[in-house]
């Protein structure tokens, strides 16, 4: 069982012990690729103590400054949320998420993203995700410890990767092209915003809100390379047409 295309991303973790415990949780389930976005205290003796025999994951952990950097080469980014947010990203339970993630990982990079201990992921960080996963818990107390959440998700990934489930997961990706990676979609969103601005689309509405809705739309459909080329082409032609238009 190889999880080489699946990474766990911990965003701005405050307590180094949680990084160590998350590494241990991952290793027990066969996951090994850990990315840390601006951890408050790392490397750390406390992280090593809680990692127990999983310090090799800490030694190989990739440390970056932003979530965008951590997922730039990913085709599927899944945010784990203790609360169900207003933003209308597709919401999955851990079992369905794991089946989809394993299917996607057969062909491209997949990231599972976990937020800060005190306030989770920001809306901006969630806007980089294609899916949200929520571990069903008592609605009156639904926030798991960070490493415990990593454990549940890692376990589901292991179960989904087990005998008998690969075939089902493969079907979802086999008959379509691979989606373009996050970095390209960020280029697209910049281009789209520029173009909508140039045609005067944002006149009476809030550009950030419109872009957030559009991101959700594209996160649901996840364009492949040829669809992406068409979308970029439409924007480029729109901009050229605007330049040709006689100024009034």
Q: Residues interacting with ligand SAH, by CB under 6 A? A: 80-83, 114-115, 117-121, 133-135, 137, 142-144, 146, 149
Residue written as token pair 């100024």: 247
Give residues with Cβ within 8 angstroms of 56, minimum separation 6.
Answer: 27, 32
In sequence order, what are the beta bridge partners of 112? 8, 78
Which residue, 115 or 223, has its beta carbon nearer to ligand SAH? 115
Residue 21: both structure tokens together:
């415990």
Which residue, 84 or 199, has its beta carbon nearer to ligand SAH? 84
Which residue, 21 or 173, has its beta carbon nearer to ligand SAH? 21
Residue written as token pair 């989770």: 120
CB of 185 to ligand SAH, least distance (A): 22
CB of 77 to ligand SAH, least distance (A): 13
Which residue, 105 or 153, has its beta carbon nearer to ligand SAH? 153
CB of 238 to ligand SAH, least distance (A): 38
Contact 120, 81 (CB under 8 A): yes
CB of 181 to ligand SAH, least distance (A): 22
Classify burial at 163, counting beta carbons within 10 Å of its beta carbon; exposed 0-12, middle 13-18, buried 19 or more: exposed
Contact 109, 75 (CB under 8 A): yes
Long-range interactions of 200-209: CB distance < 8 A, separation 24+ = none
Which residue, 8 or 102, has its beta carbon nearer to ligand SAH? 8
CB of 133 to ligand SAH, least distance (A): 6
Query: Can you tell me the distance from the alpha carbon of 93 to that of 91, in angstroms, rounded to the nearest whole number?
Result: 7
Query: Can you tell me the distance from the alpha carbon of 199 to that of 207, in angstroms, rounded to the nearest whole number?
Result: 13
CB of 70 to ligand SAH, least distance (A): 14
């Amino acid at each position: 069982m190889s999880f080489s295309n699946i990474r766990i991303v911990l965003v701005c973790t405050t307590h180094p012990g949680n990084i160590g415990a998350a590494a241990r949780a991952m290793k027990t389930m066969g996951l090994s690729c850990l990315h840390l976005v601006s951890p408050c205290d790392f490397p750390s003796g406390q992280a090593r103590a809680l990692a127990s025999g999983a310090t090799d994951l800490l030694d190989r952990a990739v440390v970056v400054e932003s979530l965008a950097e951590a997922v730039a080469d990913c085709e599927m980014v899944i945010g784990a949320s203790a609360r169900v947010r207003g933003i209308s990203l597709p919401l999955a339970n851990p079992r369905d998420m794991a089946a989809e993630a394993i299917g996607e990982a057969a062909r491209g990079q997949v990231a599972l993203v976990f937020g800060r201990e005190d306030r989770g992921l920001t809306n901006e960080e969630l806007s980089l995700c294609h899916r949200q996963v929520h571990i069903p818990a008592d609605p009156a107390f639904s926030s798991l410890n960070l490493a415990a959440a990593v454990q549940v998700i890692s376990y589901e990934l292991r179960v989904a990767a087990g005998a008998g489930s690969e075939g089902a997961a493969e079907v979802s990706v086999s008959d379509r092209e691979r989606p373009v990676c996050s970095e390209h979609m960020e280029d697209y969103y910049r281009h789209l915003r520029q173009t909508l601005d140039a045609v005067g689309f944002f006149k009476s509405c809030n550009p950030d809100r419109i872009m957030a809705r559009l991101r959700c739309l594209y996160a649901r459909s996840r364009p492949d390379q040829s669809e992406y080329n068409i979308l970029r082409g439409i924007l480029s032609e729109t901009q050229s047409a605007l330049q040709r238009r006689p100024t009034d």
